[in-house]
Chain A
Amino acid sequence: MIATHYVYWLLFALMMIGLYVVISHGNMLKKLIGLSLFQVGVFLFFISLGKVDGGSAPIVSEDVETYSHPLPQVLILTAIVVGVATLAVGLALAVRIFESYGTVEEDQVLLRDADDREQDGGAS
């Protein structure tokens, strides 16, 4: 079971490493790195689904008989674009957060927010 499906075991391990980084780290950049790792694991999973034993790249040629399935690769091309866009939005937010809070550590940001709220409470 493990031997024949070792690719899936590896890829799901990669996904879980990514997810664990997202959960365990308070640093926003590290969270985004974990998120990317998680997504890359999923992309590789899709592509490995389309691999045919002994199949060549799905480019039509006269001396090739078997091709790997091209559809998952095309799907993942789209998903990669989505992943890049997500990372870009995430990084842009991290930059804005650094500009207004001076830190990208989540607990520090929360502390500074709590200070804000105390000042609000004192003023009203």
Chain B
Amino acid sequence: MTAHLPVLQVLVPLVCAPFCVLLRSRTAAWLLFLFAALASLTCAVLLAVRVGGDGAQRYEMGGWPAPAGIEFVVGAFNTPVLLVVSAVAVVVAVYSRRSVTSEVDARRVPLLYTCLCLTLAGLLGLTVTGDVFNAFVFLEISSLSTYALVAMGRHRRALLASFRYLVIGTVGATFLLIGIGLAYAVTGTLNMSDLARRVADLGDDGGGNRALYAAVVFVFVGLAVKIAVFPLHAWLPGAYAQAPSAIGAFLSATSTKVAIYVFCRFAFTVFGTTLVFGTMPIDRIGLALACLAMVAGSAVACFQTDLKYLLAWSSIAQIGYILAGISLATTAGVSAGYLHVINHAVLKAALFCAAGLLVLRLGSARFTALAGLGRRMPWTFAAVVIAGLGLVGVPPTAGFASKWALLTALVDQGQWAVVAAVLASSLLAMVYIGRIVEVAWFREPAEPGTGPTASKAPASMVAAIWVLVLASVYFGLDATWPAGLADAAADALLANGGE
């Protein structure tokens, strides 16, 4: 049984998905998703323990040995991602029960959980797979179900956001497919470790093979769309803000993070660090785009008038921090990137969950609706401010730990321009979090009639928010656990394959 953990992790949510449709019951569908998320989390924890004990775990699908068969690989480089995705799925499952009923038509609720199961299966599969074509298939499974989830938002604007995401997301995924095709044409294999061996055989700079260079570029651009790297971010604000709140929280914490992991997997363990960051200028491009993302994302966030859009734009800036760490291609930089993946997932999920609670009680997360409610809903706004300070990077929150790690790594490499961008972005983050504080505590309520409608906030939603907020504070006070995971991941990635 334990030998099958890598595949069970993906299989349980995948098998739960059709049952959600067939049972046609809201409660049954919710229980199935909760079960799938808990099962994935259990698998992830057991796998993390095993990886810590005896190194990378390989699973041959159907007993066909690699490289002919598809294999799943769980190593130190992907256990943090598995843990984050499945843990956030559990919290969102608890949170979603009440949030989804209030925002989505009752007949569509089982379908929503079906798509959520499929998204979870796709994201986890994308993380564990050791085969490049299989990665494309899992990417499309998660993307297609995400488009459907976004389209279930309350307003008709959600449909447009979903359509745009579909068009740009499909172009990105197809770019990835072209890159995989070119890499296959050069090497004749699809297995990641086999690919890495054959690329290394070509020589340090890929033997001057232009098809291989084109493959690296196509893979990088294709994944950059999914990561929402700055100029390719246009789909993100609409998709996160218009999706139902629970979905926004889940996606903001997981989908871009998994795409970042896949980029790391391709860059460090398939094409090789020397080729991607030495021969080709992906490191310089990555750092430049990261700086643009940090400054532009935070600056635009300052001008938003809707809490959800503000959070979505802030995500674009936070992705810049992660990309900057990874583009350094040093152990310290990649480790800082991973640490921020974990911390940002927790912080952003908490903030989107809190925004969802505001939508439930006020009908909207626009600033006009939130004005002056800081005193009447102190706990919700306290959660928003604590997690918001984490985004700014104020000690002792989780954001401080990862930003400090990132700054140290940047200073080590003498990247002063990027350091300046990180600091500028943090100041701008101070401004947009300050705006929330100003709206909630220092503005007069718009009309006396407005205010919390539901008499009490549902306990499940409050619990989910505070679990995430407290986790973020704990990761700020004692970063040994996430930092240990991130360091192990960075070591494994940079130790040429880490397998």
- Min Cβ gap A80→B in Å is 12
Given known contacts A35-B170, A89-B148, is B184 in contact with A49 (CB within 8 Å)? yes
User: Inside 8 A of B136's CB, which chain A residues have their CB?
Assistant: 79, 82
User: In the bound complex, how far is the Cα of B156 from the Cα of A49, in angstroms?
Assistant: 43
Please state if A45 and B181 are interface contacts (CB–CB under 8 Å).
yes
User: In the bound complex, how far is the Cα of B163 from the Cα of A124, in angstroms?
Assistant: 29
User: In the bound complex, how far is the Cα of B158 from the Cα of A116, in angstroms?
Assistant: 13
Complex interface residues of chain B between 331 and 365 (CB less than 8 A to chain A): none
- Tally B residues with Cβ within 8 Å of A: 29
Please state if A75 and B133 are interface contacts (CB–CB under 8 Å).
yes
Complex interface residues of chain B between 165 and 219 (CB less than 8 A to chain A): 166-167, 170-171, 174, 177-178, 181, 184-185, 190
**Which residue among A79, A85, A100 has the maximum number of chain B CB atoms within 10 Å of its CB?**
A79
Interface flags for A88-124 (1: CB within 8 Å of B; 0: not) read 0110011011001100001001100100100000001
Please state if A124 and B156 are interface contacts (CB–CB under 8 Å).
no
User: In the bound complex, how far is the Cα of B170 from the Cα of A89, in angstroms?
Assistant: 11
User: Inside 8 A of A39's CB, which chain B residues have their CB?
Assistant: 170, 174
Select one of A38, A49, A96, A116 contacting B171, CB under 8 A: A38
User: In the bound complex, how far is the Cα of B162 from the Cα of A28, in angstroms?
Assistant: 12
User: Inside 8 A of A22's CB, which chain B residues have their CB?
Assistant: 167, 171
Interface residue? A78 (CB, 8 A): yes
Number of A-B contacts (CB under 8 A): 77
Please state if A93 and B171 are interface contacts (CB–CB under 8 Å).
no
User: Inside 8 A of A106's CB, which chain B residues have their CB?
Assistant: 160
- The prevalent SS among residues of A at the interface is helix
Select one of A49, A75, A93 contacting B147, CB under 8 A: A93
Interface flags for B66-81 (1: CB within 8 Å of A; 0: not) read 0000000000000000
**Which residue among A32, A49, A86, A116 has the maximum number of chain B CB atoms within 10 Å of its CB?**
A86
User: In the bound complex, how far is the Cα of B171 from the Cα of A123, in angstroms?
Assistant: 39
Interface flags for B127-157 (1: CB within 8 Å of A; 0: not) read 0000001001100100010011001000011
Interface residue? B159 (CB, 8 A): yes
Residue of B nearest to A85 (CB): B144
User: Inside 8 A of B162's CB, which chain A residues have their CB?
Assistant: 93
Complex interface residues of chain A between 38 and 55 (CB less than 8 A to chain B): 38-39, 42, 45-46, 49
Please state if B185 and A49 are interface contacts (CB–CB under 8 Å).
yes
- Min Cβ gap B314→A in Å is 22
User: Inside 8 A of A31's CB, which chain B residues have their CB?
Assistant: 167
Given known contacts A28-B163, A45-B178, is B368 in contact with A86 (CB within 8 Å)? no
User: In the bound complex, how far is the Cα of B156 from the Cα of A106, in angstroms?
Assistant: 13
Interface residue? A17 (CB, 8 A): no
Residue of A nearest to B140 (CB): A82
Interface residue? B49 (CB, 8 A): no
User: In the bound complex, how far is the Cα of B222 from the Cα of A19, in angstroms?
Assistant: 14
**Which residue among A22, A78, A82 has the maximum number of chain B CB atoms within 10 Å of its CB?**
A82
User: Inside 8 A of B151's CB, which chain A residues have their CB?
Assistant: 93, 96
Residue of A nearest to B166 (CB): A90
Please state if A78 and B147 are interface contacts (CB–CB under 8 Å).
no
In the complex, 30 of the A-B residue pairs with CB atoms within 8 angstroms, ordered by the A residue number, are A19-B171, A22-B167, A32-B167, A35-B167, A42-B177, A42-B181, A49-B184, A72-B181, A78-B137, A79-B177, A82-B144, A85-B144, A86-B140, A86-B170, A89-B144, A89-B147, A90-B167, A90-B170, A93-B147, A93-B159, A93-B162, A93-B166, A96-B159, A97-B159, A101-B156, A106-B160, A110-B160, A113-B160, A116-B157, A124-B368
Contact surface of B with A, Cβ cutoff 8 Å: 133, 136-137, 140, 144, 147-148, 151, 156-157, 159-160, 162-163, 166-167, 170-171, 174, 177-178, 181, 184-185, 190, 366, 368-369, 446
Q: A22-B167, A39-B170, A97-B156 are in contact. List 20 more A-B contacts (CB 8 A).
A: A35-B170, A38-B171, A39-B174, A42-B178, A42-B181, A46-B177, A49-B185, A72-B181, A78-B133, A79-B177, A82-B136, A85-B140, A86-B144, A86-B166, A89-B148, A93-B159, A93-B163, A96-B159, A97-B163, A109-B160
